[in-house]
Amino acid sequence: METTDDKGMIIENLDYLMRFMESGRVIPVISNSFRIEEIFREDEELFALMAEVPQFYDEFHTFEQQLTKKWADSIEYPMSDDHNLARVAQYLQVESGFAEGARKQYVRFLIDRLLDINETDEKYKDVVASLRKLSKTPLFSDVVTRLDYPRFMEGFDDPLQLLAKLPVKIYITTSYSNFLERALEAENKKPHTQLCFCKVGKTTIKAEHLPDRDFSPTDTSPAVVHLFGLEDYTNTLVLSEDDYINFLLNAVEDINLPDVYPSYLRGALPESSLILLGYHLRDWDFRTLFRFISKIRKTESMDGEMAPSIAIQFKPSLGKKENEARSLKYLEKYFAKRNFKVKWAGTEEFVYEIWNTWNKYIQGQL
């Protein structure tokens, strides 16, 4: 077991988090790649490409990056950073002159990729055929569900389902899909989908998806706050570099508007323990989200105190022990400045640990 440093910034024991959980003051913050990685690790071509990445290579280390490279190939992206989703999306938005069209093309690419790899599977070929006959592009989450993704090995629980079982009042997600809502409904909960800090396409967004200033979330009727858009409304997706910059500008401009930033979220962010799940430090979604959350927590905190939060990270493998040690120290310092502690673990591994620890806690074993 690793030792805790003098600032207590390495998490090894989750007992303290259970008190926050019991009082409804834990907010999971779930990335888009959390589910994307689980779905596309069944893609044999992407799996083979991942196997070819050198052990200490500092790029192309996720399935989402390999998937982005495939999308970049399909649109003839000309630059070398073809693993960077925000930059590939930026290129297509500029070249096409139609931002929403670029977003739709990305969603269509994900759907077609799943249909292609299941087309010859006897179990799913009829489902694929029926989906291809649809006159309107289905939701990506509908395709995923009909094809039984993600497909976990026998004996392994779905981590998203375990998160849905927890007594959580507010979930924040940068996912474009409603995977979390489906998991909550499977637990007989009534999730309240909220599109917050979204300035585009409001005339097309259903009233129940707009921020509700009077809503009081509970663990049986939790709020699911989508920060980077929802696939039901393609023009709301935050995908390119410009999209992320516009999100931050809009958030700063609208920070005091209750119809954009509801009071239940305003009060909860500084007082709750946040758990960042499935993010990678170099990606635009993390950089934008982390800056946004850090700024709001600091602004909204009445006395400067914020509940300790957790960032889940894999340890960097850089080949040289001295480089790895310096990298770990840097990352711990980076998160500590914003009152986030570091847990060196995989996302799924950490969710299982939270679930097991919570069960011990409610049984009086901690």
Alpha helices in the chain (DSSP H): 15-22, 33-40, 44-52, 63-74, 85-96, 99-118, 125-132, 140-146, 159-165, 179-186, 241-253, 263-271, 284-300, 321-336, 347-362
CB-based contact 200:243 (threshold 8 Å): no
- Closest alpha carbon to 23 in 272, 277, 360: 272
DSSP 174: -
AA letter at 201: G
Q: What pLDDT does 14 receive?
A: 82
Q: Are 174 and 227 in contact (CB under 8 A)?
A: yes
Give the three-class secondary structure for 293. helix
d(CA 19, CA 31): 24
What global pTM score does this model have?
A: 0.91
- Regions of the chain with pLDDT less than 70: 1-13, 53-60, 201, 301-305, 315-322
Q: pLDDT (tens digit, 9 = 90+) per residue, 185-227?
A: 999 999 999 998 887 767 789 999 998 888 999 999 999 999 9
pLDDT of 247-305, one tens digit each? 998 888 877 777 778 888 888 988 899 999 999 888 899 999 999 998 888 777 666 66
Please tell me the distance from the alpha carbon of residue 11 to that of residue 15, in angstroms, as a whole number. 10
Residue 172 one-letter amino acid = I
